[in-house]
Structure 1
């Protein structure tokens, strides 16, 4: 029996669908906390958003090092930080749209037009970050956005 890869509700206006395994990976991160980040990419056929890598790291810099310098990606990171008032640690799920200035124009266009379908499918995201260079996704920049509870960039 034929099993579709994706539900129609996760199809973007670019025609790129969100693969069901991409949603499953997010739900496992959100509920199980077995991984601290997921990096998504659009497959080579430009038909689906798929998981490129999942990982566990205590280092935000290690996560950033996995983002390509010259191509686009989406990512979710379980961002843990200390509350300045001494109330302990907090954790928030952050969605990244990584679109470096050096990425090919076609790649930037397809990632931009496909983002909403993935973003809508990932329920429980607290903050969204758009990054075009590493300074925009640096720890301090993200900490500032997360700690003030900002939404979209």
Structure 2
């Protein structure tokens, strides 16, 4: 069921930049989208240099945007390591619809998700989270990425 919500043109432009820009400081590591007046808009953009200045890794910043009673979409340039395959970088699309968010808000985000996701060509992983326990640590995300994931953002995910 479509919601009638449209995607702002800036989303596509920044997504293309995110896919193409690979310089160590200028690459976009995280984008946050929210629905504002029937339009999916970019509300936050974090480049690697921002993370360096804030002294925070991308996964922590990703988690910081999973707020109680809220909904949003996130696009995360995740760096992880797989056993015997080494380091990898994949784009992860996530819909956050906290279980305590207003029902109408959750319905609008759920029915608009594919409108945004279809525009983001090349996404390797897509997840939905409804409780912080769904993705509370790197181990949780690693399990969703695959059995052989050994670390996420340099943090070990194996006992």
Q: Provide the C-alpha distance between the structure 1 equivalents of 2:128 and 2:105, rounded to a whole number of angstroms.
A: 15
- Pairing 1:65-104 to 2, within 5 Å after superposition: 65-85=64-84, 87-104=85-102
Aligned to 1:7: none
Q: Would the aligned equivalents of 2:3 and 2:108 in 1 still touch at CA under 8 Å?
A: yes
Question: Where in structure 2 are there 5+ consecutive unaligned residues?
Answer: 52-56, 149-159
Q: Provide the C-alpha distance between the structure 2 equivalents of 1:29 and 1:82, rounded to a whole number of angstroms.
A: 20
Deviations 1:26-67 (A, max 9, x none): 111111142101000000x2x100001011333411221123
TM-score by length of 1: 0.81
Compute the RMSD of aligned alpha carbons: 1.7
Match of 1:120 among 111, 118, 121: 118
2:34 is aligned with 1:41? yes
Q: Would the aligned equivalents of 1:94 and 1:127 in 2 still touch at CA under 8 Å?
A: yes
State how many pairs are aligned. 135
What is the CA-CA distance between 1:148 and the residue it aligns to?
5.2
- The runs of at least 4 consecutive aligned structure 1 residues that moved more than 6 Å come to none
Q: Would the aligned equivalents of 1:129 and 1:142 in 2 still touch at CA under 8 Å?
A: no
Question: Where in structure 1 are there 5+ consecutive unaligned residues?
Answer: 1-11
